[in-house]
């Protein structure tokens, strides 16, 4: 029996590459995104498309119901949809902060709630949450984004223990620097929000540093392959660090004290 997979944020980057790899492996794949037109190539490959906004409850309910109606099961949920918006905490409107939480944590949690009854009924399933190395460390101007990723990490740890009794596993994917739209959006927001405030000097340097990070970033396919590994593994790891120097950066963070890590990061912005 082919397993049924739901991938959010499937219109580009990590989500799109994951959907491609999984359909090639014979999975029944549903790709979800607000931008249907950008998933036309996935549809040609056999991926079934869902118009879904993870901040819109009705669209998530409709999408899950469509899958259950067609397949009568959901085996794997890949919570990949995410949003990065940077700026000094003092400068970022609370409305923008709330939107990041709506996309990165509440949408993820709500979609998980919607698929769990089917997974519990079949006594099997796997929830794969795409977090970030940003869920284990901080940096200037990223307070709200990092807060959402720390939340994903904590939610996943709690959920993993809750769901073990039902035969459902929870996996966290922690990408490093990846060549996607995320970097461009984050640094544009940084300059828009803090590029002309008292934080201007450091914000400008940070935006330039983020731009150069693209040179060492991994392609989305690197993370997608890691996601597939977590899907096919009989007993997956609880966390996978992947791409863009992720393992090295997390190792350095583990070695250094908080003050030493602060010094290291700030030295890059002088």
Q: 242 with 223: CB under 8 angstroms?
A: yes
* Helix axes 181-194 and 200-213, enclosed angle (nearest 10): 170
Distances (CA, A) of 142 to 4, 37, 86, 104, 149: 35, 31, 5, 14, 11
**Residues identified as active-site:** 145
Among residues 212, 209, 215, the alpha carbon closest in space to that of 86 is found at 209
H, E, C per residue of 4-17: EEEEECCCCHHHHH
CB atoms within 10 A of CB 10: 30
């Amino acid at each position: 029996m082919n397993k049924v997979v739901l991938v959010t944020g499937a219109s580009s980057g990590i989500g799109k590459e994951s959907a491609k790899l999984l359909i090639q492996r014979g999975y029944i794949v549903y790709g979800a995104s607000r931008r249907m037109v950008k998933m036309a190539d996935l549809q040609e490959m056999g991926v079934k498309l869902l118009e879904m906004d993870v901040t819109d409850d009705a669209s998530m309910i409709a999408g899950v119901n469509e899958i259950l109606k067609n397949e009568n099961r959901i085996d794997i949920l890949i919570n990949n949809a995410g949003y990065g918006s940077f700026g000094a905490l003092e400068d970022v409107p609370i409305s923008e902060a709330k939107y990041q939480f709506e996309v990165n944590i509440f949408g993820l949690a709500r979609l998980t709630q919607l698929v769990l009854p089917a997974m519990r009924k079949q006594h099997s399933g796997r929830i794969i949450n795409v977090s970030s190395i940003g869920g284990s460390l901080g940096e200037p101007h990223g307070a709200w984004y990092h807060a959402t990723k720390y939340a994903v990490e904590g939610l996943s740890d709690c959920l993993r223990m809750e769901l073990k009794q039902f035969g459902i596993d929870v996996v966290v994917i922690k990408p490093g620097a990846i060549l996607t739209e995320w970097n461009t959006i984050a640094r544009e927001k940084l300059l828009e929000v803090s590029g002309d405030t008292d934080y201007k000097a450091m914000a400008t340097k940070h935006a330039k540093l983020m731009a150069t990070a693209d040179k060492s970033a991994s392609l989305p396919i690197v993370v997608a392959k890691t996601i597939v590994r977590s899907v096919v593994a009989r007993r997956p790891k609880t966390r996978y660090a992947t791409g863009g120097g992720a393992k090295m950066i997390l190792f350095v963070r583990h070695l250094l004290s908080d003050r030493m890590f602060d010094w290291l990061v700030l030295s890059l912005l002088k």
